[in-house]
Amino acid sequence: MLLVARGMAALTALAEELTATGGEAHTLSLDLTAPGAVAAIGAALLRHGLVCDVLVNNAGQGLVGAAADLSAADQLGILDLNLRAAVALALAALPGMRQRRQGGILNVGSIAGFMPGPGMALYYASKAGLRSFSEALWQEARGHGVVVTLLCPGPVRTPFLERSGAGKARIFRMLPKAKAQRVAIRGWAGFRRGKRLVFPDRLSWLIARVAPLLPRRLLLGLLARLQQQR
């Protein structure tokens, strides 16, 4: 495995954990939004004699607040990481996967991709874009031996809630938080079965199914209230 993230300490700890279980893990400290990030990952794969058989796009960030009140640069950074970087990596990996007729992409989305999100507008928009892209790729790749799966969890117990400020919003205080390990296991299992969408629990499935059926005006007002910070 090639593990990529900005924080080297966390990468090293994870690599040691994986190696202790008999795996082989290499690390690359990298900002995925930086110019040349895709080329840097490609060079790292070559150095270790690897090819990208499975790409897991898990990097993401978000911000809570009205779009007009938040930094424009910070909000555009959400799109750069959550959507643009994930798309760029997928486009780089897909040709080799198709040629080998194996492997695939596991994108980590969210139930946020099934509705608009006043109070976290750019985060919800990025996940909606990733959902659309993933589903289109699933159809395009399925005849070439390649799987593209979108994992769609609700709130997960990770540092994301604190870093984004989402943990203070009413909706995230109300909804139960899933365990990250459980979500990861179910996402991987769904990917191995070739599923297009994976909902790790019944609550995420229910929200994703019901939200698009609600009158849009009602849904927008409800989400705006629920995503206010306490």
Output the domain CATH number for residue 93.
3.40.50.720
Are 86 and 177 part of one and the same domain? yes
Q: What's the whole-model pTM score?
A: 0.92
Are 166 and 68 part of one and the same domain? yes
Are 66 and 39 part of one and the same domain? no
Where in the sequence is the domain holding 21, given as residue range(s)? 1-50
Which residues carry out catalysis?
A: 123
Are 110 and 128 part of one and the same domain? yes
Residues 44-87: pLDDT tens digits? Answer: 999 999 999 999 999 999 999 999 999 999 999 999 999 999 99
Look at residue 7 and tell me whether its pLDDT is greater than 90. Answer: no
| pLDDT for res 230 | 58
Residues 133-168: pLDDT tens digits? Answer: 999 999 999 999 999 999 999 988 887 777 777 667
Are 128 and 212 part of one and the same domain? yes
Q: Longest Cα pair distance anywhere in the chain, in angstroms?
A: 54
Residues 160-208: pLDDT tens digits? Answer: 777 777 667 777 677 788 899 999 999 999 999 999 999 999 999 999 9
Are 84 and 191 part of one and the same domain? yes
Are 69 and 7 part of one and the same domain? no
As for how many domains the chain has, the answer is 2
Give the mean model confidence (pLDDT) for residues 90-107.
97
